[in-house]
Structure 1
């Protein structure tokens, strides 16, 4: 199927009703002009008919006689103004303008009147008004007619002029609306150029100030998507750097063990390989948690947290952790699903690693702020060390597996939402991690 441009669709959508309206206007105006002419001619014919009937004399043994003098135009041959009086048994009386021609009058009863078009002398188009009347016990029919030829020519000229004017007006309207459409769509051309500059890396986001108000929401959504993709790309790069940094130390140790082959033991090799395996599995688990759903701007936290709990119940099956999720079922957050899963996954993973047997997760929404609170019943963290928990690569206990990057990744996600990561004593006895996000109103 051939694609139609937006400009063509708008042009057709506007031109079609304008063309129909113009055509109807031309037809109505043409009909109105013709009707006006007919009414004008009929008014004159009625006046002449009344004058003619008032001057007719009917007698039982004589033909009809018109004694009242009409205007001079009825005396001029083929002048275009005619009358004729017919009575049964008598020769018709005609105006001198008919010369030797005769009008075809209908048979009418007294008081009956009829208006119709007919042909007159030399084929002239006539409008005729005929009426039946009686006098002195005798009936007659009188008819007056007027040549419509000159007026018809004038009407046709007016109709052609009106039609031409309508076509000209339609052309001007189409040209004007085409120019307006092009002018209205000009910001889209500028937007296309900005998209090209964005692709080339010359700008970081689209300018929403130079586009119409109707397009600004679209630009804002595109810019939000650009920031989201940029944030994910940055986190992906950081994740690769984190993984490389975390593997650097075990690889250095393995390299040293390879050079000192005589003192190398199998336990040392296994220990370093296990450390590398833990790092790789941790990063793969985080990637699997973050990529569990399609991207979206609205999510139900209860459902998302339920999915995470199912995963961590299997990962930390040896601890038999009891999870307590506190999130209203009707709550919907305007957050990207991948961001929320990665953030909650990092905090839950940290809580599961340090807890004894219990982890509690709560989601609260107040105005434009959303709180994600994760508590555990583990040993907690000394107050003097809490400020360092979110630093990249910093670890409370070097004996615990991990790279010290999880909470730093959570802080990076919160930065995208103007959020904050804070640490407190948990009512369960361990550590409470509170993530505050600016999510806006629904």
Structure 2
């Protein structure tokens, strides 16, 4: 389906083209008629001059050439001719006729007659003919003719000039249509930008900032934004309430199983199952929270602050286990991701890195051209080449020698996908173990957000 902008531009262009074509046809017709009328008036003037000269030389028509001072009449086939004939059949012509004559009309009308005909050497000419009776009573057929070549050349020049003029008018009309369309659609473009901006800032649109025709749409959008905020807020509260409601029963159940295990009852399988239940509940709640916040609500989180807190926490944990953690973070890093979500991602990945490393882990956060990149590395065994996809599956564990549910990566991926972010598993170039590379774009990726 064509956009409104394209529809308006195409409609304006077609309308302008139709107007220009109609205008060009009408104007060209009028101008050509005017050119022919001017041509005929000049022919009539020369006919009148010939009649006046004939009236003074009727008794000696040979002297008529001396009375007409136009050099074209003396140049053979110059394109300008005259001819007179009396009732006795005597015919006198201009020198330009050479040894040819003009064909007289079949009806010798006493009214001036204008007509197009074939002249000397087959040349198209236009003729003015009239039968007149002089004061001495003699009757003469008087004709003047002029080549149509000059008229055709003038018409051609007129058409060429009009074509250039209308091309210019067409270009100006097209530019005007584009400018008009852009001006008319500007409020809609502004509305689109403002919706995104106000949505991020949790503000309503100002109706008075838009034209009267757009104002009802702005009111509807404000109402829709308010409803969406309310729905998202309720969904997040419900997810938090559900997490709180499940946390207490699972904690009681874990305590009971721990007590039984301490009394020499083998509860390892039950505790492992409970760990998996907790992990699955945590993942489901994280997905619920992300689905109602990731792509729908755009927030800004100070990533530098979160990295500092995790550095202090995991550095002490690593030191307790005789290991080392290094951190490199660019200052003032802000990302479009909820603080709780990004910290859950970093926490899960650092916990995995600390669990599997031999001596060291590292966390790096840098700015890219269109987003922020996080890199978490360790010097552990890593993942065998070609099995990265298996490790990213829900609950996929390539090695069960360490405690855990295998859902840490899955939870991180769910949260990141909700914001259009990417997570890739690689071999660490610096430490030799696993490298988890995360890219968080600075702008929303609609397709990925919907897929999440």
TM-score range, shorter chain: 0.3 to 0.5
Give the structure-1-normalised TM-score.
Answer: 0.46
